[in-house]
Amino acid sequence: MPGLGTIVNVAAILLGGLAGMFGGKLIPERYQKTLLSAMGVSVLFVGLAGALSQMLYAEDGTLHTQGTMMLIISLAAGAILGELLDLEDRMERFGAWLREKSGSQSDNSFINGFVTASLTVCIGAMAIVGAIQDGISGDHATLFAKAVLDFVIVLVMAASMGKGCMFSAIPVGILQGGVTLLAQLIRPVFTEQALANLSLTGSVLVFCVGLNLVWGKHIRVANLLPALIVSVIWAFF
């Protein structure tokens, strides 16, 4: 059944969010702050590991780097496009709308939780590759594995950042569902090199999310999202 992977992924995020919200009520505030810092460090190193795995390679016993120029240009061009479109502000406004519609006006961390969780679970090649596999061959394995990871991530985030994290299921459903529906059409675009570029750039953005979790929001990560598109285009030049 095409789309089953995304359905399971969305359900896992909702369950993780509910479990985290329930657990968060039982955890004192100081523990929540420490938990959030721990989550930030984990996300930071997941992004760092993903980036290094794509950038570094060994040849003749010597360590080399690759993709540096692609990464610099993708991030620079993506930042300009993102600022022009003001994606961060649009996400925050959508988060504010969700907060109002869900009756959570008093939840000051709702918008930050929604934006942070959405960026964490949406960015990366796993969502794209899994959704394409789901749409073309009905192979749900990648998205099932992602669902387990997202369940844990959203559970921990929701315990310290609240209900907003649970609503990250919406962009996941839209992104992965859309890719699954268009899988046959966009499959030729995502060559091996394009996916490698996407994975590297996505990992750097995940690293930035981790930085914001640990040291406060200093990087407007949503405004860097167009870098993912630029990195895929780079693969054809």
Are 190 and 128 spatial neighbours (Cβ–Cβ below 8 Å)?
A: yes
Cα dist. 26→29, 105, 158 in Å?
A: 9, 22, 12
Q: What is the pLDDT of residue 138?
A: 86
Number of separate domains in the chain: 1
Residues 128 and 119: their CA atoms lie apart, in Å, by 14
Q: Name the residue among 67, 161, 45, 81 with its Cα closest to residue 114.
A: 161
Q: Name the residue among 207, 194, 195 with its Cα closest to residue 234.
A: 194
Prediction pTM value = 0.88
Helix (H, G, I), strand (E, B) or coil at 123: coil
For residue 98, the enclosing domain spans 4-234
Residues 39 and 156: their CA atoms lie apart, in Å, by 7
Q: What is the mean pLDDT of each run of 10 residues along the chain (237 residues)?
A: 90 95 83 84 91 89 91 97 95 95 90 94 86 88 92 91 94 94 88 92 93 87 95 94
Ramachandran angles phi, psi of 28, nearest 5°: -60, 155
Q: What is the pLDDT of residue 234?
A: 96
